[in-house]
Amino acid sequence: MASRVFDELPDEIVHLLKQEQYVTVSTIEPNNSTPDVHAVSWVYAASPRILRFAVDARASAVKNLREIPGMAMTVIGGGTTYSIAGEGKILTTEVSGISFPLAIIEVNVVEVKDIMFYGSKMLRGPLFEKTYDPEAAEELDKKVLEAMKNIY
Split at pLDDT 50, 70, 90, the class of 2 is low
Pick the CATH number of 4-150 from 3.10.20.30, 2.30.110.10, 3.40.50.1370, 3.40.50.2000: 2.30.110.10
Residues 6+ apart with CB under 8 A from 134: none
Distance CA 71, CA 138 (A): 28
1 has pLDDT over 90 = no
pLDDT value of residue 118:
93
The model's pLDDT over 68-116, given as tens digits with 9 standing for 90+, comes to 999 999 999 999 999 999 999 999 999 999 999 999 999 999 999 999 9
pLDDT in tens, 112-137: 999 999 999 999 989 999 998 999 99
